[in-house]
Amino acid sequence: MIFSSISFLYYFLPITIALYFLFPKSLKNIVLLFSSLVFYGWGEPKYLLLMGISILFGYGFGLLVEKYREKKVGKIFCALSVSISLSFLLYFKYANFFVTNFNLATGFHLPILQVTLPIGISFYTFQMISYTIDVYRGEDAQKNIFSLATYIAMFPQLIAGPIVRYSDIAKQIKTRTHSFDMAAEGIRRFIFGLAKKILLANQLGELCSIFLDSLEKSVLFYWLYAISFGLQIYFDFSGYSDMAIGLGKIFGFHLLENFHYPFISTSITEFWRRWHISLGSWFRDYVYIPLGGNQKGKSRQFFNIFIVWILTGFWHGAAWNYILWGLYFAVLLSIEKLYFMKRPNNHIGMVERRYQIFSRIYVLFFVTISFVIFNGQDLGQVCSDIGGLFGIGGIPFVSDEALYCLRSFAVVLLIAIIGATPFACQIVTAILKRPMGKRILNWMEPVVLILLLLIMTAYLVDGSFNPFLYFRF
């Protein structure tokens, strides 16, 4: 089940909310857990067993790690728990990648395994790992297995994040407050996130599909595709994150932000502090810093950066283009750190105002190329698409189909570009500062939200293009 579906919006969600608030506080986690299991098992019930086994292992090891964390055996239990969690992920997500490449390298013909990727396994595996490590670092282990299962399986963030750490949500699992204002804020956030997904990401996805099917490629069309895909994945994923955060508020949870206008960044370092924040901070705190971070000299720091970004790329998918994508950012980040290290008074990610226009262009240029790498089906297509951006291969600069698509999607592209900046929020803030501003917005907001919901429902009933990019991760 996905958030952007009629079955979720008009059946599952209203019933879940009604049951959640009808039951007493002592049973709310049980209602949320049951609803989450229904949500997850809607399309692939067989993988509920896998999640259940993962939770049982995590629960048992959590208790053992807490009991023995002052002893060496506690570290062993922690390592075992992390290894078991990773083994599930490695088997279901990466086994065929390893088999295929082993066959290519050796000439052997080992059979490809008949396994499919369980939805959300990358996200809930990382959450289980964070739970075990947080307990090892001093957090109290969860004694109630249903509460731990609620943390792992909670449907608002189960299939697409943000990656919620146990240390950030442990107290909220035990006790949390609910209010009308918080629920209203959650509904508002959910609807705006849904709008980003259906009205922007899906439309941009149609443009990308037209490009991929086209036999009339041109330099303009390649750039139109690269920009559109970058905006599509931003609104697709940030929209889902907004919906998750909004749903969390309805149920009394405060989930951390996952995106913060990454396209206005003035460095690649800053971009990754604004894009998929929960994943970046997870790798920083559970991989980069334990490896030594920047505390063991420049050579070790750059080694750590490359390790983290190879893993980050590989986390996104079992294909060489994702590893290349990770290496691409590792190189860019290493170059930036070399440059800024020569200026001890500067903070990495901060650029002098007079250079910001050039630095923003630099970030947008390299990030746009990264999306082409990210979306390539194989390394051959990646090379072909990047070559297309620069006219390699004798392709024309412009084509009739590219101009047609540019005219057809101009309004969507313009709205998406503006929507990827803080401009709209700045307008709302300016209105609120006026004497009648708050009253006007309070009157307009419910009207706008209802209209948006009706329009999006029409799109969904029509059966329009409605993919979700992060399902594949």
Task: Report the 3 state secondary structure along 390-415.
Answer: CCCCCCCCCCHHHHHHHHHCHHHHHH
Cα distance between residue 381 and residue 324, in whole Å:
13
**231 touches 415 (CB < 8 A):** no
Query: Counting runs of H as helices and runs of E as strands, what totals does the chain give?
Result: 23, 0
Cα distance between residue 98 and residue 104, in whole Å:
10
**Residue that the structure tokens 């800024």 belong to:** 340
Two structure tokens written together for 287: 């991989």
- Residue 45's identity, in one-letter code, is P
Cα–Cα nearest to 267, from 390, 360, 144: 360
Two structure tokens written together for 407: 């005219």
Two structure tokens written together for 296: 């063991």
Burial of 431 (0-12, 13-18, 19+ CB in 10 A): middle
Helix, strand or coil for residue 376?
coil
Residue 174: how many CB atoms within 10 A of its CB? 12
Cα–Cα nearest to 465, from 232, 247, 225: 232
Cα distance between residue 123 and residue 51, in whole Å:
12
Two structure tokens written together for 275: 């894009």
**Residue that the structure tokens 């229904």 belong to:** 38
Q: Is 254 a catalytic residue?
A: no
Name 101's Cβ contacts closer than 8 Å, sequence gap at least 6.
none
- Residue 396's identity, in one-letter code, is P
**160 touches 470 (CB < 8 A):** yes
List 109, 260, 316, 347, catalytic entry? 316
3-state helix, strand, coil in the chain (%, to 5): 75, 0, 25
Name 329's Cβ contacts closer than 8 Å, sequence gap at least 6.
268, 272, 309, 312, 313, 370
Catalytic site positions: 316
